[in-house]
Structure 1
Amino acid sequence: MRYLIIALYLLCISTAFAQKGSLTGKVTANNTPLAYATVTLAGTRHGAKTDEQGHYQINNLPAGQYQVVFSSLGYYPERSKVTIAADAATTLGADLKEGNAQLNEVVVTGVSRATQLRSNPVPIVVMNKKEIDQHVNNNIIDAIIKGVPGVTAVTTGPNISKPFIRGLGYNRVLTLYDGIRQEGQQWGDEHGIEIDQYGITRAEVIKGPASLTYGSDALAGVINLIPYIPNGEDGKLNGDWIADYHSNNGLVGSSLGLSYKKAAWKYAFRATGKMAHNYQNKIDGPVYNSAFREYILSGMLRTDKKWGYAQLAATIYNNQQEIPDGSRDSLTRKFTRQVAEGPNDDIKNRPFVPEDLLKSYAITPLYQHIQHYRIYSKNEFKLGDGVLDASLGWQQSVRREYNHPTQPQQAGLYVILNTLNYDLRYSPPVFAGLETSFGLNGIYQANRSKAATDFPIPDYNLFDVGAFFFAKKTIGQADISGGIRYDTRNIRWDDFYVGPNPGNGFEQRVAANTPGGRLQFPNFNHNYHGISGSIGITYNLNERLLLKANIARGYRAPNITEIGSNGLDPGAHIVYLGNRSFVPEFNLQEDLGIIAYLKDADITAELFNNQVQNYIYQSRLDDADGNPVVIVPGNSTYQYQQSKARLYGAEFTVNLHPHNLKWLSFNNSLAYVVGLNQNEKLVAQSNGAAKYLPFIPPLHVRSQVGIKLQGVYGIFSKVSFRAEADIYSAQNHFYALHNTETATPGYTLINTGISATVGRKGGKPLFDLFLQADNLFDVAYQSNLNRLKYFEYYNASPNGKLGIYNIGRNLSVKVIVPF
């Protein structure tokens, strides 16, 4: 050991004092100097940008052989091998050919180092800010749905969207904010994502369990939402002001963003506010109790030095969200409202909602109040050609759900979740062309119920830690990458007693020896373990045609509601019943893909097959006579089940952009997934009613024609028009047992939009303008992923329409004023 230490010490000294070389040259495009092109040495942190004449210089390079990558947005990269001699200058140039910018997009999600999209065998899609801004949306998840085939959402009104990837959702989709796990109460059907849609500059979506660097729960994939990092002119205050209005629900949104950069320091701040009254459609009219208010603050400071960078950021989220309960008059179908409780509440004879409340921005007494606080630090340290990344974050999620009209200040659900995130990873210097990374990360959580009347989940503590190893190597035209990960999670809680509360007539948490108390959650302590892994290859037939294949194994421990729930979630109007004996989910997913970026078209085809062991899902509970079990009047009862499952399907995109008609584009996508319940005994007993999995989206086709005018028209420039057909086929493959789901007819939505930059010719643009019409022909429809479809108290209605319908026609305008 002593000799080994001496040898390593001498090696470090010799490396430190080794003579250095340099690399210089010129980058052109069609023999014209190319400014601001990037020159990097693959697998190292060495690189440079070209100046306005296309020249670059990289100094202090250890002697050796390197692969040099020349790249620039809108051009195909060029790779060359070069040998750097000690104490000498080496010259190398490149002439880049015009190409597709998306093909050369750099991604940071799920890899050891920033990696070009083309070389990643994992199915991953990137949306930039321009694409996010192009569509006017109620939340950030809706923007991703419109831009990424295979991503859908379970919705509860316009403002709550829970992301699903290829038919899998809830805790199976790992949502990240700037690479930090987003932790709230994800288990609830109506628990959305607490993130500012206006503050996201980029979204990266991984489809499948191949991301090994973020921990368990990414069984379906990862959505990484990346906020803006200032990169403007030194010493100048930059920013933007966004104004947003929607006609259907009167949504008014406003967001102010500021950024400042001075030398090595960067600062950013954003304040956002939104409010909306009830949305409407031509079947239901205004949907009572679907209004919301949202306020968000975020800030960041960062310093970039030669040794790396340090970043500190914080966010504050405050949301008041109404949730409809679906109660209405049986004949007129007008919405009614709850004003009494218990035996005094006649659900089918509640009073009508006054007309003035249907268009009011005021929040009703029955609503959810969600607060989310986050502070985190991200740091990167350059250790020679290696990199050490470390992050630490704290989050607090506060959720109160008010469901007592006679005591409006009394929360039915009141839970506080504290989460500590930690992540440490090291990427050593590249050795023999092999890029590697290893590390560990995880979370610690503590969830506590406060002064509430309903207790769907116990107070629990959770500790999660995992270690991973990831590697990537290029061999000729093939990029090979993969890795392995091990996770362990402990979840525990103590005995939880509930008893009468004389002060308000409801229930409260009580001590074990309290008269009238009952044990609602017996104590629990269990460890879950799992191994996940991935291996894939991208074969570059040429710069325009790629073949991809990947196989990955994922792991997910059961979440708190699946193993521990035993009570009413007021906001969901569901009594959840969990199962303490559930074991972790594992899946094995195979992906095949082909990507062709041709002169006049981009073509992508992705096929997947996903086998899930111990799949956990909700099923409505019926009694022996086939009637719904009602534990709490006016609320459904759902029990979690576990079985084998299989999901398979495909996504295709064909985007036409004739190079001779640069003003025209024709973009098309198709997504299809089938979800099969492989519990053969249950399927047989139910006569096929349990054959399919719940929450599986139908065949979805999207076609969009776009026209971009090339000239300047008075004060308008960058004028573009688009018309879109959003087509959903009928979903007849659904989980029909106990009427958990019902068939959903198909529908087609027509959307249109106009955007332009406004400003005097030759002057600085004043603002960007976006006009949009969604559901232009006011089609009455129900998505099969719309939870409000099942908010119904009757078996039949005079108009033949049951449940609540999705949003009708919506005209919107958005203005972005940069400064």
Structure 2
Amino acid sequence: MKFFYLSLCLVFLSLGVHSQNIKVLNSQTKEPVFGVAIYNVDKTKSVITNFNGEADLGEFNDTETIYFKHLSHTLKTINKKQIGKLNKVFLVSNTQGLQEIVISASKFKQNKRDIPQKILSANAKSIQFNNPQTSADLLENTGQVYIQKSQLGGGSPMIRGFSTNRLLITVDGVRMNNAIFRGGNLQNVIAIDPFAIQNTEVTLGAGSVTYGSDAIGGVMSFYTLKPKLSYTDSLMFKANAVVRYASASNERTGHFDFNLGYKKWAFITSASYTDFDDLRMGSHGPEDYLRPEFAVATSSGDVIIENDNPLVQKYSGYSQFNVMQKAHYEPYEDLSFDLGLYYSTTSNIPRYDRLIRYRSGVLRSTEWNYGPQNWFMSNLEVTKLSSRSNLYDKIKATVAYQNFQESRMDRDFQSTTRSVSEEAVNAYSFNIDLEKKLSPKTEFFYGGEYIYNKVKSVGYNQDTANNTEVDAVTRYPNGSSWQSAAVYSSIKYKPNPKFVFQSGLRFNYVVSEANFTENNVFLNLPFDYAKNESEALTGTAGISWTPSPKIQWKLNASSAFRAPNIDDIGKVFDSEPGSVVVPNNNLKSEYAYGSELGLKLNFNNKLVLDMSTYYTYLDNALVRRDYSLNGETEILYNGELSNVQAIQNASKAWIYGFEVGLKMPITNQLDLTSQYSVIGGTEEEESIEVPIRHVAPNFGNTHLTWTSNAIKLDFFANYNGDLSYYELAPSEIEKDYIYALDANGNPYSPSWYTVNFRAQYQVNNAITLTTSLENITDQRYKTYSSGIAAAGRNLIVALKYSL
């Protein structure tokens, strides 16, 4: 018997000597990589990793060179001895973007190539090089998000023909859209500090299954800087400081952030301050954009002043301050707690497009300001990445509170009455997201969400002559609320590395409540109270298929919805000169049904083409249309007889487009990239089809980039097609004061281009210098639907010091 046990031990010892079980992992996600071919130099020995990324290297000699090859990762060569006692081998995702990691698709890390939809990504390194002045500019730098600006302190994204409250914004997984996100142009994205962003993901197309209402045209997901642990008993301290100057707006910016990392605790602090003067437009372009005069208040009354430099857009300057504090606690490798505090505030922001309006040949407004735009958010996220539970492998719970404060102040020329409206929203949210691996080929994602918004709204008129105030109609019904509850799930089936199928469903219930008693003193609505309830079932299904390293197909179909919010059912405001929008308590959700086909061709990394085409049908669309109030089509509002309008389910829309991208390495250091987007669409208005307001002109860019160890240079052009008078939406034609005029005196949006140069120099390990010369030829232009002209020739210089 002793001999038997001795023999058995020798056998196991022999197996232990000759076998070596290793695990192959993705270097970024630390996820196992299935189907890795492992072989020696003459391929006489080979094994393949299983679904857990495991393989036995027992047949390889200790001195033998081993190759690790996988379709979506860079080939790795290593000597068996170098693997070490950890028995782990890490593979790096390839460089063509197929294996970039994204979070926004399911709220857990996934390979980008597995997602049927098109997702744009920007990391901290590319953000630093592009050097955006606001987060709106950051989105514009992706090349496929169009940005409209009503004023310098603005930036309203357009994605595939959709904008404003038909797009969703998230910050660290928390929904930023609130109950008063409007259909008019939105500037909330600039509250996010670009210096505090670690990476950004933009999902092109519907995202309602994961994010619910509003995610019709796309989802913009911002992920801020993460505190970093030292994983030792020693403190890890890292710090960055940035100063920046831009000539076109005389911008002065300062930023700093620092990280304190301990073994289990980490903290990061970030703060930025930016001050912009009035923006100077370009010298060459339509004279219609010039600012020849402006109104100003004096001690003796309002007067019109001739602008000594019509290229300077009086008044457009503003300032902004951002601060962020985050804490990270990781008691175990698979368990973490993250707390984030975010605050953004601005000075008054002049609404430039309203300051250039004329009435009877005279400037209409002396004042039109957005008051300080304040945003505060706190969120707590608990994440567990491994579990033996039958219900989940990974779980993430997030609870958040946000407070939004905004105001509007306007006063007509030579009027002593200043109209003021002040709004605040308290937004509470809770999300729980789970992931379960049902089999080596199948993953299941599911979760639930609850959101509650409470709206406060105040309106009053100030008499500037005697400094008195009287109550006025509020923009929104004071004390109104908006609630959303949802459950959702999706499944990912990956039978092999070449094919992925994903599908999902979401059920959402939304209710809005508003009391109009206060406003009925002014409006005499036929109702005092409104309760709007809506349910929505949305779904998505798509495939990602890579039949060879040269080809990848993506096909996706989805439905999405937007439920009426307080802005839709209860808003009162002057939408344009001579029109006033009033509440409507009889609204339903609008639905979008869309499909997308994508093709990526990789010709041995010598040329990469990325093409997508899409189509979306919007039904029961919530749009602003003429309306009657107590049988009247006109009412007196702010002293002016105004046409009555309201948000109504009164339209249908058809949107379609094509996108093509190109990447071509010319040498090891020189790359050519280009992107072009073609968008079209119509909507139904009074039984006829008319152009859609948020369908941008065709636009694109081309970059020639040279990179060395310490220097990166980028010579690029941005270009934009025109929209003739007949291609403008009716609501845009009514805003003729922001457009150039054609030969017939009709408004239109001219084509434009800019030539630009950008450079980055790594002086040493601590100092980085980034410079840009934008709009070198000093073109005078406006992006489509913008009230303010873009910057003329603009020198931007940024100096970063890292410790």
**Residue 337 of structure 2 corresponds to residue 300 of structure 1:** no
Matched, 1:153 2:137: no
Q: Is the 8 A contact 1:621 1:628 kept in 2?
A: no
Percent sequence identity over matched residues? Answer: 16
TM-superposed CA distance for 1:723, in Å, is 3.0
**2:211 counterpart SS class:** coil
Per the alignment, residue 41 of structure 2 pairs with: none
Specify the code of the residue in structure 1 equivalent to 2:185: D
Whichever residue aligns with residue 428 of structure 2, its letter is L
**Mapped contact 1:454–1:569 kept (Cα < 8 A):** no
Is residue 437 of structure 1 aligned with residue 461 of structure 2?
no
* 1:250-649 alignment, distance < 5 Å: 250-281=250-281, 282=283, 283-284=290-291, 285-304=311-330, 305-320=332-347, 321-324=349-352, 326-327=354-355, 366-381=369-384, 382-384=386-388, 386-404=393-411, 412-450=420-458, 452=460, 453-459=472-478, 460-476=480-496, 477-498=498-519, 518-519=524-525, 522-568=528-574, 575-598=580-603, 599-618=605-624, 631-632=637-638, 639-641=646-648, 642-649=650-657
Q: Would the alpha carbon gap of residues 98 and 300 (structure 1) be closer, same or farther in structure 2, given more than 3 Å must change?
A: closer
- Residues of 1 paired with 2:365 and 2:166: CA distance? 40
| TM-score, length-scaled by structure 1 | 0.76
Whether 2:110 is the aligned partner of 1:115: answer yes
1:726 corresponds to 2:719: yes
Determine if contact 1:618/1:640 at 8 Å carries over to the other structure: yes
Change beyond 3 A, Cα 1:289–1:630: farther
Distance across 2 between alignment mates of 1:159 and 1:376: 26
What is the match of residue 41 of structure 1? Answer: 32
Any conservation in 2 of the 1:400–1:411 contact (CA below 8 Å)? no
* One-letter amino acid of the counterpart of residue 214, structure 2: D
Alignment pair present for 1:805 and 2:799: no
Q: Give the letter for the 2:597 counterpart.
A: L
**Structure 1 residues 261 and 317, CA gap change in structure 2 (3 angstroms):** same
Task: Give the corresponding residue for 1:223.
Answer: 220
Which residue pairs with 1:334 in the alignment?
A: none
Q: What is the CA–CA distance in structure 2 between the aligned matches of 1:288 and 1:595, rounded to whole Å?
A: 47
Distance 1:573 1:390, change over 3 A: farther
Query: Map of 1:139-150 to 2, 5 A cutoff?
Result: 139-149=134-144
8 A contact 2:634–2:641 mirrored in 1? no
TM-score by length of 2: 0.77
Amino acid at match of 2:495: I
1-side partners of 2:141 and 2:626: how far apart?
31
Q: 1:622 offset after TM fit, Å?
A: 13
1:212 Cα deviation from its structure 2 partner: 1.7
Structure 1 Cα separation of the partners of residues 257 and 70 of structure 2: 28
Distance 1:215 1:487 in 2: 7
1:694 alignment partner AA = R
| 3-state SS of 1:142 partner | helix
Residues 812, 474 of structure 1: alpha-carbon distance in 2 compared, 3 angstrom cutoff: same
CA RMSD of aligned residues (A): 3.8
Q: How many residues align?
A: 685
- Work out whether residues 402 and 408 of structure 1, in 8 Å CA contact, stay in contact via their aligned partners in 2: no
Could you say if the C-alpha distance between residues 578 and 643 of structure 1 is closer, same or farther in structure 2, counting changes exceeding 3 Å? farther
Q: Which moved more, 1:69-78 or 1:254-263?
A: 69-78
Deviations 1:309-335 (A, max 9, x none): 1111111111122212555698xxxxx
**Equivalent-residue separation in structure 2 for 1:318 and 1:518 (angstroms):** 36
Segments of structure 2 that go 5 or more residues without pairing to the other structure are 1-18, 35-48, 56-65, 77-83, 284-289, 292-310, 461-471, 736-746
Q: 1:232 to 1:439 in 2, by over 3 A?
A: closer
Cα distance, 1:758 vs structure 2: 1.1
The amino acid across from 1:289 in the alignment is Y
**Aligned equivalents of 2:515, 2:398: Cα separation in 1:** 31
Distance 1:414 1:317 in 2: 17
Q: Which range is displaced more, 446-455 or 777-786?
A: 446-455
Deviation at 1:156, TM superposition (A): 1.4
1-side partners of 2:228 and 2:115: how far apart?
27
Shift of 1:129: 1.4
2:321 maps to amino acid: Y
Judged with a 3 Å threshold, the aligned counterparts in structure 2 of structure 1 residues 298 and 100 are, in CA distance, closer, same or farther, namely: same
Counterparts of 1:72 and 1:280, CA distance in 2: 56
What CA distance in whole angstroms lies between the structure 1 residues aligned with 2:67 and 2:634? Answer: 62
Task: Give the Cα–Cα distance (whole angstroms) in 2 for the partners of residues 328 and 614 of structure 1.
Answer: 35
The answer as to whether partners of 1:620 and 1:628 remain within 8 angstroms in 2 is no
* Pairing of 1:706-785 with structure 2 (within 5 A): 706-708=705-707, 710=708, 717-731=710-724, 733-736=727-730, 739-740=733-734, 742-759=747-764, 765-785=765-785
Once structures 1 and 2 are overlaid, which stretch shifts more, 613-622 or 401-410? 401-410
One-letter amino acid of the counterpart of residue 157, structure 2: P
Question: In 2, are the aligned partners of 1:121 and 1:536 still within 8 Å (CA)?
Answer: yes
| Contact kept in structure 1, 2:697 and 2:720, CA below 8 Å | no
C-alpha distance in 2 between matches for 1:97 and 1:719: 23
The answer to whether the 8 Å contact 2:213/2:563 transfers is yes
Paired position in structure 1 for 2:676? 670
CA distance in 2, matches of 1:24, 1:573: 76
- Structure 2 equivalent of residue 697 of structure 1: 696
Give the one of 194, 201, 206 matched to 2:203. 206
Residues 410 and 79 of structure 1: CA distance in aligned 2, closer, same or farther (over 3 Å): same
Work out whether 1:125 is the aligned partner of 2:109.
no
Q: Structure 1 residues 607 and 368 mapped into 2: Cα distance closer, same or farther (>3 Å)?
A: same
Equivalent AA in structure 1 for residue 410 of structure 2? N
Question: Relative to total residues, which structure has the larger strand share, 1 or 2?
Answer: 2
User: Using the alignment, how far apart are the partners of 2:168 and 2:672 within structure 1?
Assistant: 32
What is the DSSP-based 3-state SS (H/G/I as helix, E as strand, rest coil) of the residue aligned with 2:98? Answer: helix
Deviation at 1:257, TM superposition (A): 0.7
The residue number in structure 2 matching 1:792 is none
Code of the residue aligned with 1:113 in structure 2: it is F
Q: Deviations over 1:711-756 (max 9, x none)?
A: 6xxxxx2242423243334455221369336421211111211211
**Residues 325, 727 of structure 1: CA spacing in aligned structure 2 closer, same or farther, 3 A cutoff?**
closer
> Displacement, 1:269?
0.7
Letter in 2 for 1:287: Q
- 1:778 to partner: Cα distance: 1.5
Cα deviation for residue 806 of structure 1 reads 3.1
Instruction: State the Cα distance separating 1:540 from its structure 2 match.
Output: 1.2
Q: What is the SS of the residue equivalent to 1:213?
A: helix
Preserved CA contact (<8 Å) 2:634 2:642? yes
Name the structure 2 match of 1:175.
Answer: 169
Aligned-pair distance for 1:148? 3.8
Q: Quick one: which of 643, 648, 653 aligns to 2:661?
A: 653
Shift of 1:706: 1.5
CA distance in structure 2 between the partners assigned to 1:257 and 1:423 by the alignment: 29
Aligned to 1:12: none
Question: How far apart are the structure 1 equivalents of 2:642 and 2:238?
Answer: 51
Instruction: Report Cα offsets for 1:93-133 as digits up to 9, x if no partner.
Output: 87969942522111011226311111111111111112222
Distance 2:639 2:656 in 1: 39
The CA distance in 2 between the partners of 1:105 and 1:73, in whole Å, is 18
Alignment partner, residue 77 of structure 1: 73
CA contact (8 A) 2:659 2:676 kept: yes
Residue 286 of structure 1 aligns to a residue whose secondary structure is: coil
Report the Cα offset of residue 136 of structure 1.
Answer: 3.1
Tell me which moved more, 631-640 or 151-160: 631-640
